[in-house]
Amino acid sequence: MIKKIYCTEKNLERKVKPYANIMEGNNDIKRKTVTKILAKLKKNGDSALLETTNKLDNNTFKNIKEIIVSKKEIKEAKYKCSKSFLSALNLAIKRVSDYQKKLKPKNLIYKDKLGIKLGCIWNPINSCGLYVPGGKAFYPSSVIMNGVPAKLAGVKRLIIATPAYKNMIRPEILAAAEMLEIEEVYKIGGSQAVGAMTYGTETIKKVDKIVGPGNFYVAEAKKQVFGLVGIDSVAGPSEIMIIADKYSNPEWVAIDLLSQAEHDEEARAILVTDDKKLADNVEKSISKFLKKLSRKKIASESIKKNGLIIIIPKISLSYLVANLLAPEHLEVMVKNKKKLIKNIKNAGAIFAGRYSPEALGDYVAGPSHVLPTSGNARFESGLSILDFLKRTSYIEANKKGFAKLFRPTEVIANSEGLDAHAKSATIRFLKRK
């Protein structure tokens, strides 16, 4: 059922590399579809948004006002949720808030040896669109993981775009929005939601940045509009890699792999181990658990299509696999985890130890679950409060400091043929004389 590859120390890189940076097949047709939708949204605004939303999300909205979630509906949503859910949501918000507060940077101004003041000033982005996946599935956790750092950063205007199912949005999503005091929520999804937030329509004002995970159409739309708005990342299907040794419980490993496989048929679940017996037992456990999963069909297809067990000669080499594939989620379930983790440089999030399943990070651990996928952890980080802040450089030179620096400024400017730059430096020197 699940593919296995066997590696030696010498051929490890050659065998593993083909599995790096794997995105969804050839999607030229899908990309062209996104381009057309975006162009239509830009030209026709609300009418295009209404038409596309009904057609692609299988809704039956009669007018554009129906895509707006009223403040009353947001406020009353919590009464439709269980007390245990609301309690869990409150805990998640608190833990994510505590974590993000610690990441918030402070303004920095210092004086160098020449007496010149240098530093940076942090300011929040003015407006931001939070994309929350929805439709048949629903993810109130994504409201928290996007919304909490945005609120803490001080973003003035936050809107949520989430696809409706049969014209409705689940109360759990709206309850999360209410807890974060987000009052602007729209029943829109896919590339049309990205287009509406980018260009603006008669009903929806455009935003400065769009964040949050979504399907291929959402990711492609974000990619195409980047530059007109900021984006957090271009995300692909969810993925997990588990590094496990002979001491690991195969059932724990199996269910953790399936925790990502159940997201999407394109999701990737990868086990790296040096123990063939563990690999076989994990495979058996996967088959056992699949029979009982409510999303059996999705998880089965994911495992069949993108599941992988990489068997290496010794577990100490597993960091090489992690660095090559740069997984979104990386569980390290080995005896000597500290030594191994020191060598891991590419991962969206590391879950260290046998009691740190990826599911913990999805909901209540603290860091955002919006993480780089498709090998992007080589150069990208997970969503945080930093994504909602802008850094402005600060420079304040005094006369003494300027006198020391104007000549090198002139020399470099002249070397680049930029006369006005050079004159801008020397004119102050001459005037002072």
Catalytic site residue from 220, 262, 266, 328: 328
Cα gap 254→247, rounded to integer Å: 14
Task: Please identify which residue in the block is written with the tokens 């123990």.
Answer: 275
DSSP string for residues in 358-426: HHHHHHTSSS-S----TTGGGT-----GGGGEEEEEEEE--HHHHHHHHHHHHHHHHHTT-HHHHHHHH
Catalytic site residue from 220, 329, 358, 380: 329
Do 131 and 194 touch, CB atoms closer than 8 A?
Answer: yes
Do 124 and 391 touch, CB atoms closer than 8 A?
Answer: no
C-alpha dist (Å) from residue 6 to 9, 13, 140, 203, 272: 10, 12, 40, 56, 10
H helix or E strand, kind and range, residue 96: helix 83-103
Decide: helix, strand or coil at residue 309. strand
Handedness of CA 361, 362, 368, 371 (dihedral sign): positive
Residues whose CB is less than 8 angstroms from the CB of residue 339 and which lie 6 or more positions away in sequence, other chains included: 316
Phi, psi of 94 (to 5 degrees): -60, -45
- Whether residue 328 lies in the annotated active site: yes
Cα gap 225→230, rounded to integer Å: 8
| Strand 157-161 with 3-6, pairing | unpaired
Do 144 and 212 touch, CB atoms closer than 8 A?
Answer: no
Short-list 259, 255, 232, 254, CA closest to 362: 259
H helix or E strand, kind and range, residue 119: strand 117-124
- Whether residue 329 lies in the annotated active site: yes
Positions marked catalytic = 328-329
